[in-house]
Structure 1
Amino acid sequence: MDLVDLSHPLDPERMSIPPGLPQLISCPIATVPKDGFSMHTVSFGSHTGTHIDAPSHFIADGKSIDQIPLAALVGVALVLDFTHKGPKEVITWEDLSPYADQMQHGIIVLLHTGWSRYWAKEGKEYFEHPHVEPLAARKLLELGIIVIGLDVPNPDVTGSGDHPFHEIFLGGGGYIVENLTNLEKLKGMKPMVNLLPINIVGSDGAPVRGIAWDEFE
């Protein structure tokens, strides 16, 4: 079985982290030549790299990472191509609605913008990504979609201070996976995806090692 890696490497030297958020730090505290074994301390924010937002990220009584049902994060994916969208352009419900008949409970919707090409690049391009209008969050939930993934850092406008998509989708019991990559490799597949996070008790988010494979292989 050929697996597609949907996650960016957690590399302290090559990361895109919004200003003001914790940086990834990985420090050796023991080495094989000196100590006979190797060990690192690792420090990062709960929304570092490819990660999932639990409802508690914005909803006071929302589920935390350890309370998300595992089955919700493994399943058939519907990959929608929005690579024609430009910087800060909006993805509307009108853009999504032609695919509504393919959306049903259990389907994981992945929005492919191609923006992962800017990951870890100098400049602000990665944070000037397309975003999704709040109406789309309501409509997706109405169709039974509870997991959406994107190859951008945010379904809302990064840096705006407003989070309407997050608030509606997470408030409706949904889960958001951000900073995906390699979605272009799923073209021509009927992809199955696994987006399980590290099981950090009480956390509002956690890194994901996302993988995809063709259901027909």
Structure 2
Amino acid sequence: MTLTLVDLTHPLTSGMQIYPGDPEVQIAPATSLADEGVVVHALHLGTHTGTHLDAPSHSIADGATVDRLDIGRLVGPLHLVDVTELAQPGRRIELAQVAAQLERLAAGAIVVFRTDWSKRFGRPEYLEHPYLDVTIAERLLAAGVTVVGVDTLSPDRTDATAASADLPFHDVFLGAGGVIIENLTSLSAVDPARDPWISALPLPFAGLDGSPVRAVAMHRA
């Protein structure tokens, strides 16, 4: 069977957009072919840079760290929920509005919400993204879904002025041992009629709270 691969990952670049307060991204040459005979770059970035994964320890005391996750959970059937018609700045998406698309969820599926907000990535309005009501997290967990993805900065509302984050979706989903994938892109290229799968594998940072991922969707050509 021939597979079509869809890259769902934002490129990592110096100065790229980050969650307010996260470390700035700096990528610079450390060696050169002319001087050392090899090219190596130095990276400075946060664990939640670009398209990335939140491990439970991101917001849950004593939660699992990224290196302790079963990577088998991070490759699986992609259940795409299209909420593009609901995607308005700062809008909360309610369970009742997506309930029909959450029927017949298979345990172990990776549920991804498509808003197409990723088209705004890198611009100030990207922070004014729509977000998911906490009851959606509860519904997913009840169906045996433990990995969820969004093409926004977060499934929770982003308030750049807040002293500390208010993360009810994170608290419920990560609190149950779930995993959240954020800042996906190009979901419009995924055809849900072709039984897509998704892979979003992190680097095994020992004892840390998250990692950038290379997220890829796969479906029949």
User: TM-score normalised to the size of structure 1?
Assistant: 0.94
Tell me the residue number matched to 2:36: 35
The CA distance in 2 between the partners of 1:7 and 1:88, in whole Å, is 23
Tell me the residue number matched to 2:50: 49
Tell me the residue number matched to 1:194: 199
**Cα distance, 1:43 vs structure 2:** 1.1
1:206 aligned partner, one-letter code? S
The CA distance in 1 between the partners of 2:34 and 2:4, in whole Å, is 37
The CA distance in 1 between the partners of 2:166 and 2:190, in whole Å, is 31
Tell me the residue number matched to 2:70: 69
The CA distance in 1 between the partners of 2:136 and 2:49, in whole Å, is 25
1:170 lines up with 2:174 in the alignment: yes
The CA distance in 1 between the partners of 2:158 and 2:112, in whole Å, is 19
**Cα distance, 1:51 vs structure 2:** 0.3
User: TM-score normalised to the size of structure 2?
Assistant: 0.93
**Cα distance, 1:99 vs structure 2:** 2.3
1:142 aligned partner, one-letter code? A
Cα displacement string for residues 48-70 of structure 1 (whole angstroms, at most 9, x for unaligned residues): 00000000011111110011111
SS in 2 for 1:52: strand
Cα displacement string for residues 166-202 of structure 1 (whole angstroms, at most 9, x for unaligned residues): 0000001110000000100003432111011111111
SS in 1 for 2:100: helix
Tell me the residue number matched to 2:153: 153
Identity, % of aligned positions: 39
1:181 pairs with one of 182, 185, 195:
185
SS in 2 for 1:206: strand
Moved over 2 A (4+): 99-102
2:177 aligned partner, one-letter code? G
1:57 aligned partner, one-letter code? H
**Cα distance, 1:35 vs structure 2:** 1.5
Gaps of 5+ in 1: none
**RMSD of aligned alpha carbons:** 1.2
